[in-house]
Structure 1
Amino acid sequence: MSGENIGTHLLRPYWALWYLFVMVVWYIVTPYVVRLRGYVWFGLAFALLYGFELENTGFLALRKLIMFYPYFLLGNYLSEHEFIRIFEMPKNFKRRMNVRLIGGITFAAVMGFLLFEAWRDTPKEIVDFANAFKHRFPYVEQYDSDALVGVLKHSVIYLLSIAASLGFMMLIPMRRLPLITRAGELSLYVYLLHVFFVMAWRQYVTDAFVPQAWLALLIMIGVALLIVGIIIHPLVVRVLRPLIEIDIRPIVEKREDLSK
């Protein structure tokens, strides 16, 4: 492999690596972005406009960096204003049930809509629909119709994604739950390590293994839960912690000592 190819790959984060790359960029630029009043709306508007951009090489993961940024900005805004407090379940049983009812209806409505779309669409349309949620392609490539349709559809995608997330959060008990809480705390492990399991599945499991769609769905759910269970196992976490949770405190302390 030539040096040019190495540089090309480094500047085109592949698969799961794009997320790590853009997180670094987001943390660097966000302190400046939040100085804008209404910065979440600016981020959303810029993301929707970027959908017209034809660049689709994966350079610096720009499409994902820009079009997923509104979610990061919204999370930052909600954190700044301690919005998470609305998810703290009221002590009153009736009010607590009302909160969960609203969250459940919201989450179920979004999931129901997505399942209905998947049920009525062809396999190709389902893939295209999934790619829209991943913000993989420019509007003119994603949609055969007028590119302006892409602005409307991606606005709906942002709305559905945010509504489903907030609805799900309203359903989650504000207390520790076995395995579920641990999986959430170790989500970075799951994100980074699941890639190897997916690659093995693609390599060794053929389509003939799951000929029926409903059976494929059940198997995939079961396999996904199994993979998560393996990754968050204490032994796996203990072995891989030095690689994933790199302790930079000695470097910082040494740098501070040298600056004195």
Structure 2
Amino acid sequence: MNQFGAELRHLRELSDLSQRELGERTKTSKQQVGSIERGERRASKYFAEQADKVLNSHGRLQDLWPGARRTQPWWFQQYVDIEEKAQIIHEFQPQAVPGLLQTEGYADAVLGASFPPLPPQEREPRLLARMERQKIIDRDEPPLLLFIVEEGALLRSVGKPGLMRAQWSHILKQVEKDHVQVQVMPYGRGAHGALNGAFIILKMTFLESVVYAEVPGGGHVIADHGIVARCQERFGSLRSMALSPAESTEYIASLKE
């Protein structure tokens, strides 16, 4: 049984639908649904789209559709499309180095730690996609980038010995660029207004901004003006508590020693 068929059956059973009922709702016969689940028949793109809607799987089946060219989940691809157009990006990360600042080795180790584990055919394309995103830093008209990173994310030992030293060096190289700043939030600062998790604010125009936040298995782009305004205030508070960019550079350099 292939991955698409196995997931289709799993989602159908979770929805308490028979093959006949799913077939009726997707304008497909019971026999075709059965053959797709058994891996005997390739699903059409139309079927993958309709089954996603019926089973409320948020694009999961479209991601697994054999003809799909996505290198990452649909919900994150939506964010990437917006990120490419942003003028200013403010990101707070408490657990890991921000994706735009990760070395390939660090990114591969993070993806390798995913649970449930990512299949090899998904892990490599996601790694390549993450590295591709970083090209916005060096394009002709890059966005302004300000990252606030918890001290613990920098101290967490990720991957093989020596990998974190390379990661610290990479961050130091990136902050040499005028449009990139990193501020470290030390443990000693205690409680702050973003203990409930990471978030990213993307300023698209002078008047328009959106927020991106993730939960396990998904992510959301939020355009609600009230939520965006609160996140902007929260980010401003974090900036005031964190080490300055110059102090943060000195701190990261000290980790190498």
| TM-score (normalizing by structure 1) | 0.25
- Structure having the higher strand fraction is 2
| TM-score (normalizing by structure 2) | 0.25
